[in-house]
Amino acid sequence: IAAQDRKIALWNIGVAYTAFLIGTLCGLLQVFIRNDALQLPSWLDYYQILTAHGVLLALIFTTFFIFGFFITGMSKSLGAFGPKVRLFSWIGFWVTLLGTVMATVMIVSGEASVLYTFYAPLKGSGWFYVGLALVIVGTWISSFALVGHYIVWRKTHKGELSPLFAFMTITTIILWIIACLGVVATVLFQYIPWAFGWTDTINVELSRSLFWYFGHPLVYFWLLPAYMAWYVIVPKLLGVKVFSDSLARLSFVLFILFSIPVGFHHQLTEPGISNFWKFLQVVLTFMVIIPSLMTAFSMFATFEISGRKKGGTGLFGWFKKLPWKDVRFTSIFIAMAFFIPGGAGGIINASFQLNEVVHNTLWIVGHFHITVGTPVAMTFMGMTFWLIPYLTGRKFTKSMQILGFVQIITWSIGMLLMSTAQHVLGLLGAPRRTAYSGYNGHESALEWFDGILTNHVTMAVGGSILFLSAMILIYIVVMTMFLSPKAVKPEEIVEFPMAESDKESTPKWLENWWIWIGIAVFLIVAAYAIPLSHMIHHAPPGSEGFKTW
């Protein structure tokens, strides 16, 4: 791709890994605090670190990495950016970075220990929310730049379906923009006036609902770029085409429809919403599982086709023929494997009654470490091994490939230990977001848990292994970005592995965005209009004006 486009992508990925470095260090500190093995200096607080960990890893690392990936893939699949697209991509990058720095400074200075979910009644400095608003605005500018690039392509390719990569990028961006409307509304009209003291109070239930209207699709904003790698990159590494172009596109548009009207499944224990609306959103949540099951099906089919093509016989012979020695593939395979229990855990969380057991316990922390923390993060790691060398033109040497294996294996072991301990501890009743012993003079609660997998030592061992793994990854990132020798021979040049996708039999209406946006808006209005209007009119359940459906 064009050198100027490479530069924008590389800056995005550079910021992503800076956030990753600080965020993982905070993670290490956390497991030791919970384990009672670390006493923080008086100016540093458990919640400050927890907020930095969540914001920098879940929100900032992912967002910058995703835009670095989108920019590279869009420039590769649709052609070099025009000057306007480039300009807006840069503006988007700088605005997002400015917002990130503002929010991070507020967190580090102890002015915004409100956790990465930052919803009321917790309150941070107004400047923290201004920083967050800038992050969103920045991502919108970058998104519009990519949409502009796509529109130019469509004008010159009338009647053609766009390449799969571009289609998936635009789907993710549509999802992102619709999702952000909730958080923008609450940050601008509720949090900023409240945090700067312009209003005395805040409508807590409304603000939480608007947050989760955004918060759930946010997880698919992280997941879909990983799915893009699964659908588009994995087949290329396996030497086959995309299994089904129309299945891939359909599964993506289903995410536009079903990932947004489901936020109440994070609020099933909150009193201000009646059961009817909670139940409706639980049903819709079960709909959003379908595109993931379609993805699983598609992946198994891809593996089998490729393995059989390479001579694998019998029921499972093809399995042995997969390219296990290629760290780009193995990393993503492990990422997928983690998503099986990760997705199953999600289904448990979403089940109305079972949510009572797991809500606000360490189980949830375990859940998101085997969704965003491994399937998504490890897919991004697997992509990093070729994406940075592709952008810098440097070598990804044999020794780096070995280090890559050490990195993903340590990440897997660390995550397995830590997240299993978190799930089990959660079932035993260990609360999430709670600093344990010695915190504000409270007594230690560590003695509640003393099994092998149910103690905080296991969690800390897992956390330490994860930190070691993160440092190996940072080493690979620094090498491939700045130090590794330039690739000269053709076999040293690292390529962007993008698989072919047959779109002859793909229906054209799949790319008619207005259909999908229209249905999505309908579902959102159906799921949210009435309960939100109750909240706006301050009608608690049981009061006049609150209808129990």
Between 227 and 436, CB nearer to ligand HAS: 227
Are 48 and 107 in contact, with CB atoms under 8 Å apart? yes
Shortest separation between residue 220's beta carbon and ligand HAS, angstroms: 7
End-to-end CA distance of the chain: 55
Shortest separation between residue 279's beta carbon and ligand HAS, angstroms: 12
Shortest separation between residue 267's beta carbon and ligand HAS, angstroms: 8
Has 220 been annotated as catalytic? yes
How is residue 44 written in tokens?
């540093």
Question: Out of 67, 213, 220, 221, which one is annotated catalytic?
Answer: 220
Are 107 and 33 in contact, with CB atoms under 8 Å apart? no
Has 368 been annotated as catalytic? yes
Q: How far is CA 184 from CA 140, 176, 259, in A?
A: 11, 12, 18
Shortest separation between residue 349's beta carbon and ligand HAS, angstroms: 3
Between 97 and 226, CB nearer to ligand HAS: 226
Shortest separation between residue 157's beta carbon and ligand HAS, angstroms: 31
Between 117 and 274, CB nearer to ligand HAS: 117
Contacts 24+ apart (CB under 8 A), 424-427: 424/451, 424/453, 424/454, 425/361, 425/362, 425/363, 425/449, 425/454, 425/455, 425/456, 425/459, 426/358, 426/361, 426/362, 426/363, 426/364, 426/365, 426/366, 427/357, 427/358, 427/361, 427/363
Shortest separation between residue 482's beta carbon and ligand HAS, angstroms: 30
Shortest separation between residue 282's beta carbon and ligand HAS, angstroms: 8
> 485: Cβ–Cβ under 8 A, 6 or more apart, which residues?
394, 395
Are 128 and 107 in contact, with CB atoms under 8 Å apart? yes
* Residue sitting closest to ligand HAS (CB): 343
Between 161 and 248, CB nearer to ligand HAS: 248
Question: Out of 189, 308, 433, 546, which one is annotated catalytic?
Answer: 433
Are 248 and 220 in contact, with CB atoms under 8 Å apart? no
Amino acid at position 474, single letter: I
Shortest separation between residue 49's beta carbon and ligand HAS, angstroms: 16
> Is it true that the peptide bond before 121 is cis, omega within 30 degrees of 0?
yes
Does the CA dihedral 129-349-181-548 come out positive or negative?
negative
Between 312 and 346, CB nearer to ligand HAS: 346
Between 9 and 372, CB nearer to ligand HAS: 372
For residue 361, the cross-strand partners are 431
Shortest separation between residue 159's beta carbon and ligand HAS, angstroms: 33
Residues 31, 414: Cα–Cα separation, whole Å:
12
Question: Out of 34, 149, 208, 216, which one is annotated catalytic?
Answer: 216
Between 191 and 264, CB nearer to ligand HAS: 264
Amino acid at position 248, single letter: A
Question: Out of 266, 369, 423, 456, which one is annotated catalytic?
Answer: 369
Between 366 and 389, CB nearer to ligand HAS: 366
Between 10 and 248, CB nearer to ligand HAS: 248
Residues 163, 501: Cα–Cα separation, whole Å:
8
Question: Out of 34, 86, 367, 534, which one is annotated catalytic?
Answer: 367
Q: How far is CA 489 from CA 482, 494, 496, in A?
A: 19, 10, 17
For residue 486, the cross-strand partners are 394
Question: Out of 65, 214, 368, 385, which one is annotated catalytic?
Answer: 368
Residues 333, 45: Cα–Cα separation, whole Å:
38
DSSP-derived 3-state class of residue 393: coil
Q: How far is CA 315 from CA 309, 320, 337, 347, in A?
A: 14, 11, 19, 29
Shortest separation between residue 315's beta carbon and ligand HAS, angstroms: 14
Has 231 been annotated as catalytic? no
Query: Which phi and psi (to 5°) does residue 486 adopt?
Result: -65, 140
How is residue 465 written in tokens?
């292994």
Question: Out of 149, 432, 456, 534, which one is annotated catalytic?
Answer: 432
Helical segments of 35-163, H only: 46-54, 62-78, 83-108, 126-156
Closest by CA to 187, choosing from 112, 259, 126, is: 126
Q: Which residues of this chain interact with ligand HAS, rule CB under 6 A? A: 117, 219, 222-223, 265-266, 285, 288-289, 292-293, 295-296, 299-300, 336-337, 339-340, 343, 346-347, 349-350, 355, 359, 364, 367-368, 371-372, 376
Has 216 been annotated as catalytic? yes
Residues 344, 354: Cα–Cα separation, whole Å:
13
Between 118 and 191, CB nearer to ligand HAS: 118
Which residues have a catalytic role annotated? 216, 220, 367-369, 432-433
